[in-house]
A and B are shown apart, each in its own frame.
Chain A
Amino acid sequence: MNISAVSLELASLSLGLLTIILGLIFPSFRSKNTGGYLAIMGLISMLIGSLYLPASNTQTFINTFYVQDSLALFFKQLFIVVAIFVNAMSLRYLKPYTKNRGDYFALTFFALTGMMIMASAAEFITLYIGLELMTFTFVLLTTYKKQDLKSGEAGLKYLLLSAISSGVLLYGLSLIYGLTGKLDFSAISTVFSIGSVSPLLVWAIIMVLSGLGFKIALVPFHMWTPDVYEGAPTPITAFLAVGSKAAGFVAFIRVFFHVFAPFTSIFMPLLITLTVLTLLIGNLIALAQTHLKRFLAYSSIAHVGYILLGVIAYSKLGLSAILFYLMLYLFANIGAFAGVTALVINTGHDRISDLAGLWKCSPFLSVIFLISLLSLAGIPPTAGFIGKFYLFTEAIHQGYLWLAALALGLSLVAVYYYLMVIRTLLSGTSEETQPFIIPFSLRLVMIVSAAMTIGIGIWPGPFTDLALNIAQSFY
């Protein structure tokens, strides 16, 4: 038994439980932001602690069903970073909700635990339970604004559709178990590598693809995203867009790069088709959006398409490109969602037209939006450029020139809609005349994410090295 393999999960869990218990003992703990500060401090110490965990060698907890390899550790650190940002964004955002603030912060810990379990699971049952833990917590977080009908509707939608997609995923898993008699990844891949392809196996692959595709918002399993993103509290939308999606990707990577490796000829054509659809739908529908959060939802769908280019490339560099892209995607999205949070705090709205004249109200916020959106659009010197360059180069390198060209072409469309938003924000007049109030915590989130976006863009070396090392050890 190796406790260090689950130390981060245990820490996250204990902090979550502690937050609940403190809330039960001290009523003021639940109605104030104390829980949030505690959460942020706890998460930061977890992040620092995680740096001292051995990253180079793979550790297992009890048996090979639960591993902590460098891939898992990377994703866990990614999740912790997201959670820190989300909690910091929430502090001021939750002001109108004085009742259960403590529970909100506790729930973020449970979501985090679920994601971490997904990152480390090397066996389908554990993976599934981790996924459910995450999903369930997100449902609660999504419905957090109970007074807001949209929030409740989003939560219900997310719950029911997740249940359906979980059913599909479970069916696929049961088929795999029926075909191989195994549940852990390495045993299954051993069986697969000598076995032949049966029609039911194709079913299993497709069902797993749909179940995980639902979490990463792959078209046509994306339809919940805009509605849920719109209804959820904005910091939670950021958590969903970055954290939940990254958790989906780590499972995706483990399953498709490892378990299903002998069957690339089966799932690759499907994956390519879905990627093309994802790129098309995400980029083109984003053009027609009027709500910032729906807009960012479609943009995040488009980004899934770009990231999947790395899966399609199916190489070590492709994997490292995915990991690298997820890092910069995190900072760019957090910047954008922090911007939306600030907008909501100050104006109460989140339509794109509400951005009009923002420059005069808050140049700072405008610059943050500018940097984040430029990074999402992939313009140098922001990190988005080098990330896209990396992904596209690797896709072309592996012979998918047409796909890379399509993605590049659609990223042009993306530039257009990002610029539309930027244009609205720079020109135009607003009804608001007084300067925006941006609380310190939110300001800090924005500064850090913008600085990282520019920083990774200017000096990507350390980050690509990190991604490459992880990809190397995973392969």
Chain B
Amino acid sequence: MDQFTWLIPTLPLIAFLIIVGITYRFKLLSAIVATSFSLGSLFLAISILIQKIQSPKTTETFINWLTLTANQQTVLTLQMGYLMDPLAAVMCLIVTLIATLVLLYSIGYMKGDDGFSRYFAYISLFTFSMLGLVISNNYFQTFVFWELVGLCSYLLIGFWFFKPAAADASKKAFITNRWADFGFLVGIIGLFTHFGTFNFAELSTVISLHQNTLVLLILGLLVFLGPMGKSAMFPFHVWLPDAMEGPTPISALIHAATMVAAGIYLVARGYILFASVDSVMIVIAYIGGFTALFAATIALVQRDIKRILAFSTLSQLGYMMMALGVGSMTSGMFHLTTHAFFKALLFLGAGSIIHAVHDQDIFNMGGLVKKMPITVWTFVIGSLALSGIFPLAGFWSKDEILTVTLQHHFMGLFILGTLVAFLTAFYMFRLIFIALFGDNRSGHHAHESSWTMTLPLLILAILSIIAGLVNTPWFYQWTGMSFSTFLFFKEPEVPVIHWSIAVLSSLAAMSGILFAWIIYSKQQISADKLAQRFKGAHTLLLKKYYIDEIYGWLFNKGLLGLGKVFNFIDHILIDGLFDGTATLIRSSGVQLRLFQTGRLQQYALVLFIAIAAMTIWGVR
């Protein structure tokens, strides 16, 4: 089956081309094309995964996309190819599965939208790019698809570009990611110039000979900037909450389950690079841990249902990054898998609610449980899974992360992780008690969504319940294998339950739910009074620690200011320098003066002064 790996990304690409070229005018047909081709990829991914489970050997195939030779000597080879191993197989399954479900869901959700076909074309293009990234066998290809998914994300966040907020958000996402990718690109070119290859397998052979060298430290940190941007780690996190301006199914697919997980995936894929330098790993672990806590606290006070979920995603991504940083690739990837299911479920559920209520503010909802039971109950299942309640998927993966954190002696991160578990349960059930139960506060006329929307919810709910079981001791006893014996770095591990940790994390989650219930359902403690009491902290959280404001200030005052300063130097200052007075300002209508001979003489003067300066320097 491995030889068909290339087909997995190609099918969505074909779908994209068909939609753009042929079926653009026929809305429903476009949707059917996109969904069915994605389904094809899903079947391929499943069969490849099954084959990998039976014989987990790595296959790699590539072509030389670009070869540069000088003096009969190859200087630069850029490969395009695929690397199929358990890691890629699992990720392929996640991407194709979520993509198929989201496409199906979108048929209902996007009904009547002007850009219906465009939407399905974009998603197909995204799926292609994401899968191309997943199966990539080298850093260069990864980077190309990395940028492509970024571009698709840009297009999809800004899908409703006539909303200024959406246009701004898409730009913000793109720019923020470019800053991160700057480091990433320098890092991989550095890897190439230092080790002579972009290929993952070749690199891991070379890197394994080095440990803790300075070059690896620098390159590791540079490359890590890429995942930090894509997975929205602090301080690059600002784009993800704003990205919620896109259609909700997009948030589920790109900004919860797949693209943002690409950062985690890349760290796992190039794990040897990071694992070979201890300090890089510590940086990864603490950035992950900090982001987890940071985002969870912000989520406590948000009012927009999608923003709460976005901050929750940030927090969970931090969790995964922390797991990778403390040294366990398995637990990070395991949490990625389970998280993909329940977070996609939550977003699609939120989409279903928004579709019914036409509002995103949780305080304008309420009383939904009777009107749209499937949505509400699957949403509750998703929240329970996210909170880590036994025996749902989140419990197992979160437990695994806390265990490895403790095993690798990161006591601080362990406490932090447990705290985040508490906070997660609290903000999720705050959302549930306010938005789903309680009274109808805005007089909305919600009703249950159509089957194309509820079917994906049900499938994801089932997966959110059972997906965690694949890494339990019972599953291991039953089948002789588990997630951690299938996907691992260096040594496979047999799953065991550490009861003390399990009890502790469950207690944290339960108390979170309990608090939320007391405050928002029983209303024994007034939320408003709490907010009044801790006004400073509340505002700080509401304003997301003012990070956006700081960036905005830096950007507007800094970069744009710099541009203006240079413009000033280039035109006005030179005027002033030579004239004594800055009289000619282009934009003030003076530009229609017949011939600006003064300017002409300035230009000539600049030219001669430059020559004089150059000769003073050159002749010496």
- Residues of chain A touching chain B, judged by Cβ–Cβ distance below 8 Å, are 149-150, 152-153, 156-157, 160-161, 164-165, 168, 199, 202-203, 205-207, 209-210, 214, 220-221, 223-224, 227, 266, 269-270, 280-281, 284-288, 290, 315-317, 320, 359, 374, 379-381, 385-386, 389-390, 392-393, 396-397, 401, 404-405, 408-409, 412-413, 415-416, 419-420, 423, 426-428, 460-461, 464, 468, 472
Cβ-neighbour of A206 out of B166, B174, B595, B614 (below 8 A):
B614
Q: Do A397 and B193 contact each other (CB < 8 Å), given the known contacts A409-B182, A427-B161?
A: yes
CA distance A408 to B560 in the complex (A): 18
A contact patch SS: helix
| CB-based contact B161/A426 at 8 Å | yes
**Which residues of chain A come closer than 8 Å to B607, judged between CB atoms?**
161, 164-165, 168, 210, 214, 220-221, 223
Residues of chain B from 2 to 28 with CB closer than 8 A to chain A in the complex = none
Query: Which of B363-371, B481-489, B561-569 is near enough to bind chain A?
Result: B561-569
Whether B214 is near chain A, meaning CB under 8 Å from some CB there, is no
* Nearest 4 A/B pairs, CB to CB: A287-B563, A427-B167, A426-B161, A288-B567
Residue of B nearest to A289 (CB): B567
Q: Do A317 and B563 contact each other (CB < 8 Å), given the known contacts A379-B151, A419-B175, A427-B163?
A: no
Q: Do A284 and B563 contact each other (CB < 8 Å), given the known contacts A412-B179, A426-B167, A427-B167?
A: yes
Report which residue of B68, B164, B175, B570 has the largest number of chain A beta carbons within 10 angstroms of its beta carbon: B68
Query: Which of B183-191, B291-299, B321-329, B508-516 is near enough to bind chain A?
Result: B183-191
- Residues of chain B touching chain A, judged by Cβ–Cβ distance below 8 Å, are 65-71, 75-76, 144, 147-148, 151, 158, 161-164, 166-168, 170-171, 174-175, 178-179, 182, 185-186, 189-190, 192-193, 559-560, 562-564, 566-567, 570, 587, 591-592, 594-596, 599-600, 602-604, 606-607, 610-611, 614-615, 617-619
| CB-based contact A266/B75 at 8 Å | no
**Which residues of chain A come closer than 8 Å to B179, judged between CB atoms?**
412
**Which residues of chain A come closer than 8 Å to B603, judged between CB atoms?**
157, 161, 223-224
CA distance A386 to B65 in the complex (A): 12
Of the A-B pairs whose beta carbons lie under 8 Å apart in the complex, a sample of 17, sorted by A's number, is: A149-B592, A149-B594, A157-B603, A214-B607, A220-B606, A288-B564, A385-B144, A390-B68, A408-B186, A409-B182, A412-B179, A419-B175, A423-B170, A423-B171, A426-B161, A426-B167, A468-B68
| CB-based contact B178/A385 at 8 Å | no
CA distance A170 to B254 in the complex (A): 60
Cβ-neighbour of A168 out of B185, B189, B602, B611 (below 8 A):
B611
| CB-based contact B144/A206 at 8 Å | no
CA distance A389 to B151 in the complex (A): 17
CA distance A380 to B125 in the complex (A): 13
Residue of B nearest to A203 (CB): B615
| CB-based contact B619/A203 at 8 Å | yes
**Which residues of chain B come closer than 8 Å to A427, judged between CB atoms?**
158, 161-164, 166-167
CA distance A13 to B397 in the complex (A): 75
**Which residues of chain A come closer than 8 Å to B178, judged between CB atoms?**
412, 415-416
| CB-based contact B615/A164 at 8 Å | no
A375 CB to nearest B CB, Å: 12
| CB-based contact B144/A380 at 8 Å | yes
| CB-based contact A206/B570 at 8 Å | no
Cβ-neighbour of A164 out of B147, B163, B599, B604 (below 8 A):
B604
| CB-based contact A280/B566 at 8 Å | yes
CA distance A206 to B619 in the complex (A): 10
CA distance A413 to B560 in the complex (A): 10
**Which residues of chain B come closer than 8 Å to A210, judged between CB atoms?**
607, 610-611, 614
Cβ-neighbour of A317 out of B68, B162, B562, B567 (below 8 A):
B68
| CB-based contact B193/A220 at 8 Å | no
Q: Do A472 and B70 contact each other (CB < 8 Å), given the known contacts A408-B182, A412-B182?
A: yes
**Which residues of chain A come closer than 8 Å to B163, judged between CB atoms?**
427
| CB-based contact B618/A317 at 8 Å | no
CA distance A397 to B191 in the complex (A): 11
Q: Do A408 and B68 contact each other (CB < 8 Å), given the known contacts A202-B619, A220-B607?
A: no
**Which residues of chain B come closer than 8 Å to A426, judged between CB atoms?**
158, 161, 167
Cβ-neighbour of B66 out of A397, A405, A464 (below 8 A):
A464
A90 CB to nearest B CB, Å: 25
Q: Do A461 and B66 contact each other (CB < 8 Å), given the known contacts A153-B595, A396-B189, A419-B171?
A: yes
A143 CB to nearest B CB, Å: 12
CA distance A472 to B591 in the complex (A): 48
| CB-based contact A359/B161 at 8 Å | yes
Q: Do A316 and B570 contact each other (CB < 8 Å), given the known contacts A202-B619, A397-B193, A412-B179?
A: no
Residue of B nearest to A198 (CB): B619
A460 CB to nearest B CB, Å: 6
Q: Do A287 and B174 contact each other (CB < 8 Å), given the known contacts A149-B594, A461-B65?
A: no
Residue of B nearest to A160 (CB): B600
A410 CB to nearest B CB, Å: 10
**Which residues of chain A come closer than 8 Å to B170, judged between CB atoms?**
423
| CB-based contact B559/A396 at 8 Å | no
**Which residues of chain A come closer than 8 Å to B563, judged between CB atoms?**
284-288
Cβ-neighbour of A396 out of B71, B190, B562 (below 8 A):
B190
CA distance A245 to B158 in the complex (A): 36
B486 CB to nearest A CB, Å: 32
Residue of A nearest to B565 (CB): A284
| CB-based contact A285/B567 at 8 Å | yes
**Which residues of chain A come closer than 8 Å to B602, judged between CB atoms?**
223
**Which residues of chain A come closer than 8 Å to B570, judged between CB atoms?**
223, 281, 285
| CB-based contact B148/A380 at 8 Å | yes
Cβ-neighbour of B148 out of A381, A386, A423 (below 8 A):
A381
B147 CB to nearest A CB, Å: 5
Q: Do A206 and B615 contact each other (CB < 8 Å), given the known contacts A223-B606, A385-B144?
A: yes
**Which residues of chain A come closer than 8 Å to B161, judged between CB atoms?**
359, 423, 426-427
Residue of B nearest to A324 (CB): B68
| CB-based contact B66/A460 at 8 Å | yes
**Which residues of chain B come closer than 8 Å to A374, judged between CB atoms?**
151
| CB-based contact A392/B614 at 8 Å | no
CA distance A304 to B60 in the complex (A): 40
**Which residues of chain B come closer than 8 Å to A290, judged between CB atoms?**
587
CA distance A72 to B171 in the complex (A): 42
Residue of A nearest to B611 (CB): A210
Residue of B nearest to A374 (CB): B151
| CB-based contact A199/B619 at 8 Å | yes
Residue of A nearest to B604 (CB): A164
CA distance A269 to B559 in the complex (A): 27
| CB-based contact A153/B562 at 8 Å | no
Residue of A nearest to B560 (CB): A287
A74 CB to nearest B CB, Å: 17
| CB-based contact A266/B192 at 8 Å | no
**Which residues of chain A come closer than 8 Å to B615, judged between CB atoms?**
202-203, 206
A23 CB to nearest B CB, Å: 30
**Which residues of chain A come closer than 8 Å to B67, judged between CB atoms?**
461
Report which residue of B168, B186, B594 has the largest number of chain A beta carbons within 10 angstroms of its beta carbon: B186
Residue of B nearest to A171 (CB): B611
**Which residues of chain B come closer than 8 Å to A149, judged between CB atoms?**
592, 594
**Which residues of chain A come closer than 8 Å to B185, judged between CB atoms?**
389, 392, 408
| CB-based contact B174/A419 at 8 Å | yes
B552 CB to nearest A CB, Å: 13
A393 CB to nearest B CB, Å: 5
